Amino acid sequence: MGLRILDRKEQLTLTAIEIIDELGIQNLTTRQIAKRQEISEATLFRHFKNKKELLASVLDYFVQFDADILHSTKLHNLTPTQALVYLISSYAEYYENYPAISSILQIYNFLLYEEELADKMKEIQNNRTSAIQQMIEEAKLAGEISGNVDSNMVAVMITGFFREICFNWKTSNYEFSLSDRLLKTLELLLNALHD
């Protein structure tokens, strides 16, 4: 009932996320999305001219809170490492309560070969990595971690373990707490980087 009052584009985007989570990106077809929405493919194409445009909408939806989460780390007056913990725990909590959205993290490799989508995906990845890199730089200046570490390498490590742990979480059928695992791994890394 509630789904019906959303605009059609949003309904189609949510259904695409649901299918990616259940069947994988390789099995996402416009026919299947239309079928689940009980509309014709022609109706779908009135809202998205092709599957690429629909996937671009999925990516926009996927990052819809990025700016607000990042801005919150600044407004909360946290130390750099506290800000990093806040950032990771915000995503972890959101994904934990909406497991389907974490599946979008796993479609990067597939999108790499789709020209326009690859650029969009790289931009998302770069923005997230840069935000973390900035926090690592600030943590170095504040003496919270060693001044000798390469902040870009650490940021890549963090985005890497984040994605890998989300993948393990999904393949384990969500049997462990995503927040706990991510925050413990982050703590381990930050401790190792301490002077």
Binding site for another protein (CB under 8 A): 1-3, 5-6, 10, 14, 64-65, 67-69, 71-72, 74-76, 90, 93-94, 97-98, 100-101
> At its nearest, how many Å lie between another protein and the CB of residue 13?
10
In contact, 155 and 133? CB cutoff 8 Å: yes
Please identify, using beta-carbon distances, which residue of 38 and 115 lies nearer to another protein: 38
Comparing CB distances to another protein, the nearer of 93 and 187 is 93
Instruction: Assign 148 to helix, strand or coil.
Output: coil
Scan for tokens 């989570």, then name that residue: 21
163's tokens: 């994605």
| 38 vs 195, beta carbon nearer another protein | 38
**Smallest distance from another protein to CB 86, Å:** 8
Encoded tokens for 133: 């890199």
Tokens representing residue 85 in the block:
């913990």
Shortest Å distance, C-beta 73 to another protein: 8
Nearest distance, CB of residue 85 and another protein, angstroms: 12
User: Residue 170 in contact with residue 107, Cβ under 8 Å?
Assistant: no
Contacts for 61 with CB less than 8 Å, ≥ 6 apart: 13, 14, 17
